[in-house]
Structure formats: structure tokens, C-alpha cells
Amino acid sequence: MINHLGLRHLALKVSDVERARDFYQRVFGMKVVWQPDPDNVYLSSGCDNLALHRGVFGNREAQALDHLGFIVPTLAEVEAAWEWAQRNRLDIVHPLRHHRDGSVSFYIRDPDGNVVQLLYEPAISPKRFA
């Protein structure tokens, strides 16, 4: 087994790096860590890293990545995020849903069609990372 600290990095191919950067900054408050050139940008939430690289796309529905997710700290905050997403007319894929395991989530689509889950998960959401 490989010792690790969890999934902290994800790289996505996007058609327009600036548009995708703006989306992840506006919607998730991510900050630019490094932008070496117009085709690549690295963002951070403080504990996670998201790399956006210019790429070429085919069918949006046939993406290999099912979805990426952002853990939300509390149930109230995921419900507030749902209201915010609707007010800001984000592309909603699946509406807010309360699951039997106590988790609550909804899904949106970024400008390139990547599906992003907002998730309150009782076993993970309360954890704090240094």
C-alpha cells in the first residue's frame, strides 16, 4: 500500500483556460497558485489543487471523468450553496438530494461540461486539514 494524504490534486482539460479559471474562482473561491502560460493554470482551495490545461473536446456527454467533487463543511452550507447555484443560474445536472446515509449533494456542470458535485458527507465534512 502507498502511504498518502488523500486526493488533493486533479487536472482537467478545458477548451478555454481563462473561462474555466474564472468559473472555479467565482463559484468555488479558488485562488491562482501559478499560471505559467495562457494554456495552463493551477488553482488552490487551500487544501486541494486543480490544474486546468487547454485541450480538445468531442462529445460533452462522453467525458471519461464521471465527476469531481467539493466537500461542503455543513448541511446548512450545502443547502445555501444550492440556493446560490440556482440564483446564479449555474448549469444544474442533478438537484439537491438528501441521501439515506445522511449525505446531501447536488451536481452542476462547469463551462466545459465537467460535472461537479457539491457534497456534505457526514464522515468527511467535519474533518479539518492543517
Tens digits of residue pLDDT in 46-80 = 888 899 999 876 666 655 677 898 989 899 999 99
Q: Tell me what pLDDT residue 121 has.
A: 87
Residues 6+ apart with CB under 8 A from 33: 42, 43, 44, 49
The domain limits of the chain are 1-55, 67-124
Q: What is the pTM of this model?
A: 0.80
Domains 1-55 and 67-124 share a fold: yes
β-pair partners for 70: 118
According to CATH, the topology of domain 1-55 is 2,3-Dihydroxybiphenyl 1,2-Dioxygenase; domain 1 (3.10.180)
Q: Identify whether the C-beta of residue 12 lies closer than 8 Å to the C-beta of residue 65.
A: yes
Rg (CA), the chain: 15
In CATH, what number does 67-124 get? Answer: 3.10.180.10
Confidence check: pLDDT of 9 > 90: no
Q: Tell me what pLDDT residue 59 has.
A: 63
120 exposed, middle or buried (CB, 10 Å; 0-12, 13-18, 19+)?
Answer: buried
Confidence check: pLDDT of 90 > 90: yes
Mean pLDDT of 81-99: 96
CA angle centred on 63, ends 48 and 92, rounded to 5°: 70
